[in-house]
Amino acid sequence: MMGILQTAATKSPWIVHFDCGSCNGCDIEILACLTPLYDVERFGVLNVGNPKHADILVVSGTANYRNARVLRNVYDQMPWPKAVVAVGACASTGGIFRNCYNTLGGVDKVIPVDVYVPGCAAKPEAIMEGVLQAVQVLEKRKETGETYAG
Amino acid sequence: MLDNEKIIELQDLKKETLLLKNQGYRYITMSCVDLGDSFDLIYHFDKAYEIYNMRFSVAKGTIVPSLSDVYFCAMLTENELKDLFGLEFSGLVLDCGGNLLITDEVGAAPMTKQYVVKAKESE
Amino acid sequence: MAKKTILPFGPQHPVLPEPIQLQLVMEDEIVVEAIPAIGYVHRGLEKLTETKAIAENIFVVERICGICSFMHALCYCQGIESLMNITVPDRSRFLRVIWGELHRLHSHHLWLGLLADAFGFESLFMQCWRNREMVMDIMEMTAGSRVIISTNALGGVRRDIDSDQQKFILNSLNKLQEELDNIKRVFSDDYTVNKRLVDVAVISKEDAHELGAVGPVMRASGLSFDYRTTGYAAYNELDFEPIVEQSGDCYARMMVRLRECYQSIDIIRQAFAKLPEGPIASPVKGFPSGEIATRVEQPRGEVLYYIKANGTNHLDRLRVRTPTFANIPALLKMVKGLTLADIPIAILSIDPCISCTER
């Protein structure tokens, strides 16, 4: 039974998108990936609203004190194996907002990140590439039997 | 000095605002500038594409009467300034207690000039 | 008397692309009050602008919001330019209008799609976003980037649009208008769409004025206010009227935005027809001093920048009042009395841009 689930996770990864403190630029590009021109659904990728359904967490924007708790909560609710994609300069390092008083920096200050997608705003092509790399991370985790490190 | 600006006294704020409301002005927003030991408060209103500004200065720590019972929409701006500048308003209809935008970890009044941006550990 | 329950709506919710929380006080299925809990996207951008140089701030204000980034930069540049008494070349004034209206087009298409998604019309959502890609292609071709195009500069614009690109843009707009006719039929006449939008979340003319609503929310309630009519950039040389609807419900707000799409296409065509030859930027020397409050009409409504400069390369204060911030009081009013199932549509109908609101 576990085998089927894990094969499904890599052949048809479901993503959940969480916007931390993004300017919307990356968010609309993530949404644009789902729409007819880019259409990630041809790779079996489906955007879901429930973190318990999801294999890959796509995060955009900087972490701040208030949304860090929500981000951690969403991440913790996802079942193992899971992977995290940080989309855009803000999610990777804090970007232009790095030194603002209300930002913690990149989302890797809060949760472990597997794939960083550069760009401000990241292009849909780059986001798709990032998600596909995250699928490989999932595959590797499945093969090696790596367990959840928290 | 802005265009269409009127300098008023703190105690006339409510009276002036009610006058504006009766003349059909729309509340846009208020701005706060930190002048060191006092705050400059500027209220922006609009009528038929013309902006009208009211300005007064208050010493830090002064309690400013809230406009939220005249214009309900002033409530959000006042809560915001309470968060960011540590301004106190009396008679705020919906008081978020300084937690509308920021949490306690940030520290009080981050927009004031004294506030020093913390160095991040990696720098 | 039914028992009151407080229901948190958000911050992570499938219908909301961005985190905002409304605490809904419910009596059975009916909302009696809504309390906003924001701050999930607050970064402290106004403070950041005090530490950056004046020209660098253009890139900071563009990142207030990725959807209407061009208008933020436009408002900031116009403010600094009028403080420094810079006259912008005619060609760049028209180019600013063109990019501004392209932003309005892509923003309204995006919103129409999200609205369709909110009432469960998946294929309409896909159609809107497919059409939007035509606008995004124009952006990429003219500016090299899809979302944050950074073509504004102090004293003018950074890039020009040549005649080949003009032909491509006008062709794309013709195609876009045909597609728009198709989706307009569905949005305005479809039975299910009407059922979800008509008489939902009504806001009266008086309330809209008193609560300080701006943009399509205000215009859908019968108030004719469009800051473009004051003629900033090149709008004084173009022919258009504010689009006003009377009923103040979600349907009216949708129709305002749908009709503004046609209006934007028309304005871009007019601007290309009148586009003068010449330089695209004036030289800028020195630093501004003084105060100014300047406004621009964004897709979501009027934005106000208050700038205080002191003659150095850093600003004393930059205050931004964004349209969604002004529309939240109206939202709190309009959700009262709605059933829970209508809340997502009511929230979407003000076109919330949370990153604008919190900066």
Q: What is the pLDDT of residues B44-81, one digit of tens each?
A: 888 888 888 888 888 888 888 888 888 888 888 888 88
* Mean pLDDT taken over chain B: 80
pLDDT tens for A127-146 read 888 888 888 888 888 777 77
Provide the number of structural domains found in chain B.
1
Among positive and negative, which fits the CA dihedral C273, C275, C276, C277?
negative
- Contact: B117, A66; criterion CB under 8 Å: no
- Domain span holding position A104: 2-138
Over residues B31-42, the mean pLDDT reads: 86
**Antiparallel, parallel or unpaired: β B88-90 and B63-65:** parallel
Chain A nearest CA to B33, separation (Å): 18
Over residues A46-55, the mean pLDDT reads: 84
Whether B76 is covered by a domain: the verdict is: yes
- Domain span holding position B46: 5-106
Q: Residue C311 gets which letter from DSSP?
A: S
C287 touching A (Cβ < 8 Å): no
SS3 of residue C169 by DSSP: helix
Task: Parse chain C into domains and list their residue ranges.
Answer: 44-332
SS3 of residue C131 by DSSP: helix
Number of Cβ within a 10 Å radius of residue A76: 11
SS3 of residue B122 by DSSP: coil
Which of A16, A17, A28 has the highest number of chain C CBs within 10 A, making it the mutation to test binding with C? A28
Contact in structure between C229 and C140 (CB atoms under 8 Å): no
Residue C92 one-letter amino acid: S
Chain C nearest CA to B11, separation (Å): 23
B105 touching A (Cβ < 8 Å): yes
What are phi and psi for residue B101, nearest 5 degrees?
-105, -35
pLDDT at A3 over 70: no
> Kind and range of the H or E element at C84?
none
Contact in structure between C293 and C190 (CB atoms under 8 Å): no
**A44 alpha carbon, distance to own chain's centre:** 16
ipTM: 0.84
Whether A150 is covered by a domain: the verdict is: no
Mean pLDDT lowest among A95-109, B109-123, C242-256: B109-123
Whether B121 is covered by a domain: the verdict is: no
Contact in structure between A82 and C55 (CB atoms under 8 Å): no
pLDDT tens for C296-319 read 988 888 899 999 888 888 888 888
Residue C347 one-letter amino acid: I
At A58, which CATH number?
Answer: 3.40.50.12280
**CATH fold group of domain C44-332:** Cytochrome-c3 Hydrogenase; chain B (1.10.645)
**pLDDT value of position C174:** 92
**pLDDT value of position C262:** 92
H helix intervals, C119-211: 122-143, 163-189, 191-197, 205-210
Which residues, including other chains, have CB under 8 Å from residue C216's CB and lie 6 or more apart?
C253, C256, C257, C260, C300, C301, C351
pLDDT at B123 over 60: no
Q: What is the pLDDT along chain C (359 residues), one digit of tens a residue?
A: 568 888 888 777 767 777 777 888 888 888 888 888 777 888 888 888 888 888 888 888 888 888 888 889 999 999 999 888 888 898 898 999 999 999 999 999 989 988 888 888 888 888 899 899 999 989 888 988 888 888 888 888 888 888 888 899 999 999 999 999 989 888 888 888 888 888 888 888 888 888 888 889 888 988 888 888 888 888 888 888 889 988 888 899 999 999 999 999 999 999 999 888 888 888 888 888 888 889 898 888 889 999 988 888 888 888 888 888 888 888 888 888 888 888 888 888 888 888 888 77
pLDDT at B4 over 50: yes
Which of C40, C49, C103, C107 has the highest number of chain A CBs within 10 A, making it the mutation to test binding with A? C40
pLDDT at A1 over 60: no
Contact in structure between C324 and C350 (CB atoms under 8 Å): yes
- CB burial of residue C137 (10 Å; 0-12, 13-18, 19+): middle
Whether B116 is covered by a domain: the verdict is: no
B10 touching A (Cβ < 8 Å): no
Whether A146 is covered by a domain: the verdict is: no
In which residue are the tokens 């703190």 written?
Answer: B10
Partner-chain residue, chosen from C212, C316, C319, that has the shortest CB–CB distance to B73 = C212
**pLDDT value of position A116:** 92
Contact in structure between C249 and C199 (CB atoms under 8 Å): yes
- Kindly report each contact of residues C124-128 with a partner whose C-beta sits within 8 Å and lies 24 or more positions away, as own/partner: C124/C183, C124/C186, C124/C187, C125/A35, C126/A35, C126/A36, C127/C179, C127/C182, C127/C183, C128/C183
Number of Cβ within a 10 Å radius of residue C291: 24
* Mean pLDDT taken over chain A: 83
Give Cα separations from C150 to B71, B123, C72, C342, C358 (angstroms).
Answer: 37, 29, 10, 37, 21
pLDDT at B117 over 70: no
**pLDDT value of position C265:** 92
Residues of A at the B interface, defined by Cβ within 8 angstroms: 65-66, 98-102, 105
Instruction: Give me the residues paired with residue A18 across strands.
Output: A59
Whether A116 is covered by a domain: the verdict is: yes
Over residues A89-94, the mean pLDDT reads: 86
- Contact: A99, C136; criterion CB under 8 Å: no
Q: What angle do CA B79, B84, B86 make, to 5 degrees?
A: 80
User: Residue C154 is encoded by which pair of tokens?
Assistant: 């102090």
Q: Residue C35 gets which letter from DSSP?
A: E
How far apart, in whole angstroms, are the C-alpha atoms of residue C241 and residue C93?
A: 19
Residue B49 one-letter amino acid: Y
How far apart, in whole angstroms, are the C-alpha atoms of residue C118 and residue C110?
A: 12
Partner-chain residue, chosen from B2, B49, B115, that has the shortest CB–CB distance to C292 = B2
At B86, which CATH number?
Answer: 3.30.460.80
Contact in structure between B90 and B107 (CB atoms under 8 Å): no
In which residue are the tokens 């500004």 written?
Answer: B53
C25 vs B contacts (CB less than 8 Å): none
Whether B119 is covered by a domain: the verdict is: no
Chains with ≥3 Cβ pairs under 8 A against B?
Answer: A, C
A74 vs C contacts (CB less than 8 Å): 12
In which residue are the tokens 């729309």 written?
Answer: B26
SS (H, E, C) chain A: CHHHHHHHHHHCCEEEEEECCCCCHHHHHHHHHHCCCCCHHHHCCEECCCHHHCCEEEEECCEEHHHHHHHHHHHHHCCCCCEEEEEHHHHHHCHHHCCCCCEEECHHHCCCCCEEECCCCCCHHHHHHHHHHHHHHHHHHHHHCCCCCC
Chains with ≥3 Cβ pairs under 8 A against C?
Answer: A, B
Whether A143 is covered by a domain: the verdict is: no
